[in-house]
Structures are given as structure tokens and as C-alpha cells.
């Protein structure tokens, strides 16, 4: 409009100013032209006023929009929660472990190499190596519904690691249904090394069973309640499982069932650079014997401390357990059979476990290595029967990470431990320290 | 007579047409659209209400405002490809220095800038350090510690409190950049502000700064856009955060219970600059001149508490406005100015180390991979 007006005025002025023909213009023409110009000027002023008013209204609109935007920004945002449940289980974690809405597909490919002085064949070949596992999994959330599942393929078996669906309540409490981690003791693991510690081989750490679990978090407090109908697999004699359970093998024919777990933890120094999680756990469950057709029971209680101060981590745990199987008299009740990974071995039914782990996150500013964590994990099982020799495991090692690739370098020393010579978690065994050097290289996505 | 009148009408018609076409063509040649890049939120709002609308009205050019998070990578990419979409950019001074050194920006003659209302040349009207070969300073802002009084009965009073997780447990917000954070880390570790850059210049000093940041690393929530820092406070995601003072003031003005800790605030300057090879360079320079005029800078200060870099603009402001600015006498002595020249030279190397440091955990992670 302004352009047209300028054009028109330009034309009019050009017309008025054309000197060679001005003589033909009458006074009336000039007055008419002047009146026209005056009218145009008035309209121009009106338009300017209108334009100014529109500008003011635009400003007001802009401010209103900004205010609205600000209010929307100010509305509390729902905190995303890791569907893996590990963040919730471990409680008191930083928001680094939060994940956004959606399902992620994950997996890993791992290879292992080792040397062991308790394996003559491996000594003869100066070590051995091979595929460790290939695993796939899905993890995430859609709205408040959570999903986490993982399936593992080992060269000698394949098995579900865990698999559950869950629901996230408005107060961030969580319920999980399916094969889920048993809430007991140090979480998520009572160790740093690849080889784990003694509790794992007794089913007291990183154990997964089928049931329902409720997790309540309130700042530094983390409470968990769970009921497990039975171990992760329905068949008590199926050894193709990831986590160790009391099961039916050989003369010891039992099955875990109807287990209840309670775990309470509180973090002192919550959200500081030096935090101390102190917790207690208890579990009780039934143990059905297929021979006597009677139900025995088992219980365990643990107290733990998980201190993270700067780059240091100290983990301590004490566990007391008693298993009361209703086995045939000829077999007695001092030993039960536990199994997993397509193998089984004996376990003393009464004992005390101790764990003492220390780890240090090495400061590193390298373009080639992202992370080095070195650790020493020690665990011991004291068996109640005086003629049962204690079992010990000590692992010194480091985890080296670069992007999605992680390398565990572990020097494992074991005394009377399963998988090391004639070591046993029950009555037999040997009082001899065995050594294994284990390397595990994995790519994770 | 008839022929003469016909010729006159034809001439009139031709003259009118030429006038219309000439006016239209002129507007087209100068472009009717301009893209200005700034920092979003309350800051962009202050620019829109302070002078962008006025510029649009007076020039007939629409200005599209785009948000960004700083840096010169995008400018470098656009300029090198001659595919420049950003006509004019609000840069941090150290970024402008880097971009200018790399030849990415149009040089600006101070004599081409508007004089002060009293005729003082721009070169004398701008405060020291506000004019540079490729940019014109607009505001002085400050990075401060801010907190919500609704969450903390007794808020932090010093920078040391920000680094004291024992005294003030909880998460902290920090901008994801080494700038200001490394200076603060050294000061919290006992270094005098006047010696910060001298110490940062050494490997040991840099290590010391990172070690000091290690103390709070586990509790840091990173932000990039200035408005994100405000959102962290609004949503109680942190107990305190670094933030730009103007944005905290703006949030407080709309009723948020936010407070500023001026202790050891870090002052910095922003500049308007024009990337090279823009098709709209003439219009961009016209915008830059308009945006850095006395009136525009004074207008902007009405909407955000940043100090105009023209002395003549400061003279137009009320006392109430003046005392909220980082450049106010009572605030000035509590903080220090960032060394834009030092960061211009050292940022690329330190940024790489900083990024690695951000990605790496300090504590032993609860969930180690691979089991």
C-alpha cells in the first residue's frame, strides 16, 4: 500500500512538475491536486496511527505469548525413570541413569580368554579363549508402563536373564511383574568384577525369580517388597538358567517357592559427594521336596554398607542364612543342591557370608580410554558345620572402557570354591588357593 | 489539442508506472526478510520488544528470530559454503573474536554506527572493549549463582557455597561449557579472581580447576540454553544453578521466588555481528546499526537486566533499572569480567578436554557393564 501510494504520489508530482506542459494546467487543476495531496496526507497519518496501534497490539500479544510460554515452562515436568529398574532398585542414584520415554533395543557380544592353574588342559594350551555370549534385550517405557527384558545365548545354553513389565506411579513408586531381580543386599551387584563373589554362586546376589516386586523411593530412602512364586523357570530340574537357585538334581530334589523379600536402605549424605547407603534385607521362602513331598523353608538376612566418596567405593555386607529342607533322612539336611549355567553343585545349608569390596575410578584424560575402574573384591562363606571348610574368593582387576567396548581384566584367587579344582561350597573341597586370569572383552549397544 | 491531451495522459501513465515500479524494485532489492540469531527466552524477548519491532516498522523488513546455544561452528559452515542463512548473529565476545580471526565476519567501521543523541561519535560513546573489528557490543550480562527461596530457607551466600555439597546437598545446574565454570572452580579452591587466568594458563592450573569441579560433578545438571537454567529452578530439578542474571530477574518479575548470589559473578559482553557472504548484508548491517543505537539499547534494558554498552543509553535509564544491572556500582565490585581474549585463544583445546570430562563419571558407577 505504501509502495503504491509512493508510486501514485511520484506520478502526481511528476505530472505537476512537467515544465513544458505546466502552462496548460489551470489554477483549478492545481487546487484540485493540492486538495488531493492533503487528503492523501490525512489518510497517510491515519494509516500511521493505525500502524502504531497495530504495533502496540503486537507487543501486547507478544508479551502475552511469552508469559504463557513461561508458565508452561514453569509447570513441573515428570521425571523420567529408568525402566531397567536398576536405578529404582539401587535408589539414590543420580539422574544420569534416567531414561526418556520409548523402548530401546540393546545387546552385547562378548569374548573371553583365560588361564587357570586348576585346569590341566588350559595350562597345556597356555590358556583358552572363545565366545562368551551374545545377548539381546529391550528396555524402556511407554507413558507409565515399563518394560525390561533380556535373553542370553551362551555357547552351551540359552536362557532368559530377566523379563518383566511394570508400572510407574505418580509418586515414582514402581511395580514390576515377571522375572525380576531379587531385592537382597547390595544392589545391583555385591561385586565389581566380572567373576562376581561368593554370594552370587549361592543365589544371594544378582538372583532373578518369577514374581512381583514393589519399589518405593523417597529421596534417600529406598524400600522394596517382593513376592516370588518360584525361581525363574517352572521346572526345578532345569539347569539352563542364568541365576543360581536351589533345585532338583541328583539326590537333592528341592524347589524354591513362595518367597517373600523385604529390603530397606537409607542413604546418608544423599546428593553429596560422599554418600553412605546403609541397608537391611530379609527373605523367607518355602522349599518343597519332591521325595518326601513336604515343605521345608529357608531364610536369609543381610546388612550392607555402600559408600561412595569421590572416586572411591567401599562395599561391605554380612549375610546369615539357613535352609531347612525336608529331605529324606538318609540324605540329611546339611546340604542342598544349587544350580545354573547347565551345572549344579552342593551348598551348605547354614552359614554366614561376608563381603568386602573396594573400587577406585582412576582419573584419566585420554582420547583413547574413557574409563578405568580398578577394584578388589573379597568374599567368604563360613559354614556352620565345623567340618565344612570355608570358601573364599578374591578378585583383583580393572575395567577398561572405550565407548561401547569394555574390557575386564581379572586376577581371581579362590580357596575351596566351585569351578576351581575340587573346591566346594559344601562339605568336601580342598584348602588350596587356585588362580585364574580372566579377560572378557565385550561390545555393548 | 486532442493529440496533445492524449500525449499528456500517456506521459502521466508512464510516469505513474515508473514511480510504482521504482519504489517496488527498491524494496525488493533491499530484501524484505532478515534472519537474526540470538539466545532465546527472556533475552530474545527483550530484543524483540526493545528494538526488533521498531526496526521492522521503520524498515519494512521482517526479522525472523532464531535461537541458538552459542559457538561458531554453524557460522563457519555457512560462510565457507557461501550458503549463509544467518544474516546477523548475537555472539559472545570471545566467539566474535574467534570468528573474526577466522575471517567469518564482516568488518564494521565504527564511523558507520549511529552517534549518540548529543552527537558523540560511536567510538567514544561505547564503553571500552565494546567495539571490535567485526562486531558491535550490545549488552554486558553476568553469570551468577541463582536459587529458589521456596526450596532453600537459608540460601547460598558465596560462590564457595555452590561448591559445598556438605552444606547445601543437592543437584546444581551449570552451563555445559568450560567458560566461567573453570574460573569458578579455581576461586572455590582458593584462587584470587585476579590470578585465575594466569593459573589456568598452566597445565597444573587446569588440572586443579578440573579437580575442584570433580567435587560437585556427580550432582551437576547441565544446561545449554539460558532459559533451561531457569527451568531447572522452576521444576526443582536443582537446588541452585548458574544462570544469566537477566533471565533470573525476568523470572522473578513474573513471580518466581528466585534470588541471585552476586558473589564472584562473571561479567561478559555480547556483540552483534554479520557473517560474510550473506545475500542480505546491507539489510543486516542496517539492523546492526539500529540494534546498537542509543535508544535501542536503552529500550532493551527495560525488558532485561543487562547493561547497555553505550554510555548514552545508560543516561536514559531510571535508577531502579540501573541498580539491577551487572554494571551497577554495588554489583560491579562483587564480580569480575571474563577474559574474552584468553578464551578466544584457548577454548578449542580446553573444550575437548571439558567434553571428555563431562562424559566421564567421577564416582564408581553402580551399574558396571558386562555382567
pLDDT at A267: 96
Contact: A361, B363; criterion CB under 8 Å: yes
More confident residue, A385 or B1: A385
Contact A8 B20 (CB under 8 A): yes
Check whether residue B315 and residue B201 sit in a common domain: no
Q: Are residues B64 and B126 in the same domain?
A: yes
In a domain, A155, yes or no: yes
Measure CB to CB from residue B356 to each of A308, A365, A406 and give the nearest one: A365
**What residues of A are in contact with residue B258 (Cβ under 8 Å)?**
none
Q: For residue B234, tell me if it sits in a domain.
A: yes
Strand intervals (E) in A100-144? 102-116, 128-142
The set of long-range contacts for A359-362, using a CB threshold of 8 Å and a minimum separation of 24, is A359/A192, A359/A312, A359/A313, A359/A315, A359/B364, A360/A311, A360/A312, A360/A313, A360/B364, A361/A311, A361/A312, A361/A313, A361/B361, A361/B362, A361/B363, A361/B364, A362/A311
Strand pairing of B240-244 and B172-175? Answer: parallel
Question: Which H or E run includes B55?
Answer: helix B53-59
Of the partner residues B166, B216, B363, the one whose CB lies closest to the CB of residue A308: B363
Q: Supply the pLDDT for residue A172.
A: 85
**Are A296 and A176 within one domain?**
yes
Residues B225 and B292 both lie in one domain: no
pLDDT at A81 over 50: no
A234 band by pLDDT with thresholds 50, 70 and 90: confident
Rounded CA-CA distance A339/A243 in Å is: 8
Chain A closest-CA separation from residue B52 CA (Å): 11
How far apart are the C-alpha atoms of B355 and B360, rounded to whole Å? Answer: 9
Smallest Cα distance from A443 to chain B, Å: 9
Confidence (pLDDT) at B19: 38
Chain B contact present for A20, CB below 8 A: no
Q: Which tens digits make up the pLDDT trace of B126-170?
A: 999 999 999 999 999 999 999 999 888 889 999 999 999 999 999
Same domain, B251 and B261: yes
Q: Which three cell numbers stand for residue A306?
A: 555402600
- Residue in this structure with the C-alpha cell 543486516, named with its chain if needed: B284
Q: Establish if A93 belongs to a structural domain.
A: no
- pLDDT tops 80 at residue B14: no
Residues A40 and A129 in one domain: no
How large is the average pLDDT for residues A157-185?
95
How far does chain B reach from its first CA to its final CA, in angstroms?
106
Please list, in sequence order, all residues whose beta carbon lies within 8 angstroms of the beta carbon of residue A301, skipping any fewer than 6 positions away. Answer: A280, A281, A282, A283, A319, A320, A321
Q: Look at residue A94 and tell me if it is in a domain.
A: no
A58 and A147 fall within a common domain: no
> Same structural domain for residues B49 and B178?
no
B-proximal residues of A, 165-224, CB under 8 Å: 187-189, 192, 194, 196, 206
Examine the pLDDT at A210 and tell me if it is beyond 80. yes
Q: Which of B53, B353, B369 sits opposite A58 (nearest CB)?
A: B53
Q: How many A-B residue pairs are in contact by the CB < 8 A criterion?
A: 171
Q: Does A397 share its domain with A327?
A: yes
| Cβ-Cβ contacts under 8 Å, B365 against chain A | 373
**What pLDDT, on the 0 to 100 scale, is given for residue B15?**
43
Same domain, B108 and B223: no
How large is the average pLDDT for residues A403-426?
96
B235 and B346 inside one domain: yes
Region B15-42: mean pLDDT is 62
B260 with B355, same domain: the answer is: yes
The predicted structure's pLDDT at residue A34: 78
Indicate if A157 and A301 belong to the same structural domain. yes
**Residue at B164 is within a domain:** yes
Of the candidates A15, A67, A108, the beta carbon closest to that of B15 is on A15
How many domains in chain B?
2
A442 shares contact with chain B (CB less than 8 Å): yes
- Does the residue A344 lie in any domain? yes
Mean pLDDT score of chain A, rounded to an integer?
A: 86
Kindly tell me if the per-residue pLDDT of B367 is higher than 80: yes
Does the global pTM surpass 0.90? no
Structure confidence at residue A62 (pLDDT): 60
What pLDDT is attached to residue A28? Answer: 74
Q: Which residues of A touch B165 (CB under 8 A)?
A: 271-273
Q: Spell out which residues of chain B touch residue A188, defining contact as CB-CB under 8 Å.
A: 366-367
Contact A367 B234 (CB under 8 A): no
A293 lies in the same domain as A365: yes
Asked whether the beta carbons of residue A359 and residue B165 sit closer than 8 angstroms, the reply is no
A430 and A314: one domain?
yes
- A89 domain-assigned: no
Q: Which domain holds residue A37?
A: 2-74
C-alpha cell at B333: 565490585
Q: What is the pLDDT of residue A26?
A: 74
**In terms of domains, do B321 and B232 share one?**
no
Instruction: For residues A327 and A413, state if they share a domain.
Output: yes
Would residue B369 count as lying in a domain?
A: no
pLDDT tens digit sequence for A29-67: 777 777 777 777 777 777 776 776 666 666 666 656 555
Asked if B231 and B326 sit in the same domain, the reply is no
Mean pLDDT of B41-69: 95
Q: pLDDT by residue (tens digit) across A307-366?
A: 999 999 999 999 999 999 999 999 999 999 999 999 999 999 999 999 999 999 999 888
Residues B40 and B151 in one domain: no
Average the pLDDT over A174-186 and give the result.
Answer: 97
Residues present in chain B in total: 371
Q: Do A313 and B364 touch (CB under 8 A)?
A: yes
Question: A138 and A233 share a domain?
Answer: yes
Question: What would the mean pLDDT of A86-114 be, rounded to a whole number?
Answer: 72
Question: What average pLDDT score do residues B185-193 get?
Answer: 96
Q: How many other C-beta atoms lie within 10 A of the C-beta of residue A94?
A: 18
Contact flag A86-B367 (C-beta cutoff 8 Å): yes
Structure confidence at residue A124 (pLDDT): 84
Name the residue range of residue B319's domain. Answer: 32-140+270-336
Is A59's CB within 8 Å of B165's CB?
no
* Best CA proximity match to A263, nearest among A242, A249, A277, A248: A277
Least-confidence region, from A75-89, B138-152, B172-186: A75-89
The reply to whether B93 and B124 lie within a common domain is yes
Amino acid at each position: 500500500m505504501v509502495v503504491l501510494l509512493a508510486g501514485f504520489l511520484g506520478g502526481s508530482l511528476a505530472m505537476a512538475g512537467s515544465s513544458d506542459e505546466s502552462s496548460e494546467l489551470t489554477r483549478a487543476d492545481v487546487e484540485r491536486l493540492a486538495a488531493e495531496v492533503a487528503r492523501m496526507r490525512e489518510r497517510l497519518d491515519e494509516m500511521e496511527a493505525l500502524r502504531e496501534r497495530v504495533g502496540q497490539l503486537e507487543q501486547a500479544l507478544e508479551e502475552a505469548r511469552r508469559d504463557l510460554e513461561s508458565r508452561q515452562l514453569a509447570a513441573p515436568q515428570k521425571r523420567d525413570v529408568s525402566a531397567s529398574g536398576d536405578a529404582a532398585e539401587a535408589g539414590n542414584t543420580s539422574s544420569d541413569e534416567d531414561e526418556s520415554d520409548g523402548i530401546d533395543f540393546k545387546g552385547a557380544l562378548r569374548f573371553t580368554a583365560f588361564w587357570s592353574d586348576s585346569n590341566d588342559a588350559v595350562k597345556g594350551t597356555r590358556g583358552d579363549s572363545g565366545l562368551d555370549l551374545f545377548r539381546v534385550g529391550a528396555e524402556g517405557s511407554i507413558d507409565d508402563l515399563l518394560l525390561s527384558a533380556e535373553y542370553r545365548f551362551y555357547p552351551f545354553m540359552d536362557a532368559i536373564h530377566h523379563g518383566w513389565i511394570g508400572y510407574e506411579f505418580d509418586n515414582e513408586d514402581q511395580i514390576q511383574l515377571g522375572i525380576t531381580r531379587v531385592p537382597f543386599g547390595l544392589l545391583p551387584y555385591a561385586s565389581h568384577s566380572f567373576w562376581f563373589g561368593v554370594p552370587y554362586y549361592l543365589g544371594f546376589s544378582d538372583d532373578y525369580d518369577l514374581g512381583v516386586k514393589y519399589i518405593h523411593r523417597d529421596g534417600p530412602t529406598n524400600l522394596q517388597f517382593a513376592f516370588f512364586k518360584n525361581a525363574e523357570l517352572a521346572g526345578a530340574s532345569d539347569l539352563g538358567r542364568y541365576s543360581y537357585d536351589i533345585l532338583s538334581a541328583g539326590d537333592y530334589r528341592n524347589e524354591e517357592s513362595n518367597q517373600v523379600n523385604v529390603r530397606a536402605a537409607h542413604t546418608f549424605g544423599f546428593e553429596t559427594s560422599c554418600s553412605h547407603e546403609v541397608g537391611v534385607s530379609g527373605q523367607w521362602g518355602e522349599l518343597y521336596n519332591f521325595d518326601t513331598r513336604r515343605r521345608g523353608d529357608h531364610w536369609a538376612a543381610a546388612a550392607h554398607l555402600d559408600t561412595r566418596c569421590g572416586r572411591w567405593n567401599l562395599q561391605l555386607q554380612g549375610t546369615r542364612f539357613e535352609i531347612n529342607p525336608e529331605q529324606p533322612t538318609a540324605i540329611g539336611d546339611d546340604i542342598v543342591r544349587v544350580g545354573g549355567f547347565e551345572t549344579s553343585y552342593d551348598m551348605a545349608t547354614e552359614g554366614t557370608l561376608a563381603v568386602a569390596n573396594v573400587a577406585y575410578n582412576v582419573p584419566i584424560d585420554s582420547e583413547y580410554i574413557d574409563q578405568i575402574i580398578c577394584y578388589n573384591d573379597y568374599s567368604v562363606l563360613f559354614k556352620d558345620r565345623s567340618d565344612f571348610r570355608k570358601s573364599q574368593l578374591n578378585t583383583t582387576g580393572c575395567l577398561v572402557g572405550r565407548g561401547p567396548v569394555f574390557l575386564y581384566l581379572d586376577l581371581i584367587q579362590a580357596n575351596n570354591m566351585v569351578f576351581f579344582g575340587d573346591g566346594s561350597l559344601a562339605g568336601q573341597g580342598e584348602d588350596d588357593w587356585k588362580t585364574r586370569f580372566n579377560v572378557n572383552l565385550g561390545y555393548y549397544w | 489539442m486532442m493529440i496533445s491531451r492524449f500525449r499528456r495522459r500517456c506521459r502521466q501513465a508512464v510516469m505513474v508506472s515508473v514511480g510504482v515500479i521504482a519504489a517496488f524494485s527498491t524494496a525488493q532489492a533491499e530484501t524484505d526478510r532478515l534472519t537474526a540469531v540470538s539466545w532465546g527466552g527472556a533475552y530474545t524477548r527483550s530484543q524483540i520488544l526493545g528494538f526488533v519491532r521498531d526496526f521492522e516498522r521503520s524498515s519494512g523488513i521482517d526479522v525472523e528470530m532464531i535461537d541458538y546455544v552459542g559457538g561458531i561452528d554453524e557460522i563457519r559452515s555457512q560462510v565457507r559454503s557461501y550458503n549463509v542463512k544467518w544474516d546477523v548473529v548475537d555472539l559472545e565476545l570471545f566467539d566474535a573474536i574467534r570468528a573474526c580471526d577466522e575471517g567469518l565476519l564482516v568488518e564494521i567501521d565504527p564511523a558507520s554506527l549511529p552517534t549518540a543523541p548529543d552527537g558523540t561519535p560511536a567510538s567514544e560513546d561505547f564503553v571500552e572493549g565494546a567495539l571490535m573489528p567485526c562486531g558491535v557490543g550490545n549488552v554486558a550480562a553476568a553469570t551468577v549463582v541463582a536459587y529458589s527461596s521456596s526450596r532453600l530457607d537459608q540460601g547460598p551466600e558465596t560462590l564457595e557455597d555452590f561448591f559445598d555439597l556438605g552444606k547445601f546437598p543437592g543437584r546444581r545446574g551449570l552451563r555445559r561449557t568450560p567458560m566461567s565454570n573453570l574460573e569458578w572452580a579455581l576461586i572455590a579452591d582458593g584462587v584470587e579472581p585476579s590470578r585465575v587466568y594466569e593459573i589456568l594458563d598452566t597445565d597444573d592450573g587446569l588440572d586443579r580447576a578440573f579437580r575442584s569441579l570433580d567435587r560437585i560433578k556427580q550432582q551437576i545438571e547441565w544446561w545449554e540454553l539460558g532459559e533451561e537454567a531457569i527451568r531447572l529452578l522452576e521444576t526443582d530439578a536443582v537446588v541452585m544453578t548458574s544462570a544469566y542474571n537477566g533471565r533470573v530477574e525476568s523470572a522473578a518479575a513474573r513471580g518466581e521466588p528466585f534470588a541471585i548470589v552476586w558473589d564472584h559473578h562473571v561479567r561478559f559482553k555480547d556483540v552483534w555481528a554479520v557473517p560474510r557472504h550473506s545475500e542480505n548484508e546491507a539489510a543486516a548491517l542496517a539492523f546492526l546499526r539500529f540494534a546498537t543505537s542509543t535508544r535501542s539499547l536503552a529500550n532493551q534494558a527495560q525488558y532485561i537486566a543487562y547493561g547497555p554498552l553505550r554510555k548514552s543509553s545508560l543516561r536514559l535509564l531510571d535508577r531502579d533499572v540501573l541498580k539491577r544491572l551487572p554494571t551497577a556500582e554495588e554489583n560491579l565490585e562483587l564480580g569480575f569480567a571474563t577474559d574474552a581474549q584468553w578464551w578466544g585463544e584457548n577454548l578449542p583445546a580446553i573444550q575437548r578436554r571439558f567434553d571428555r570430562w563431562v562424559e566421564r563419571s567421577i564416582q564408581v558407577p553402580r551399574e558396571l557393564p558386562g555382567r
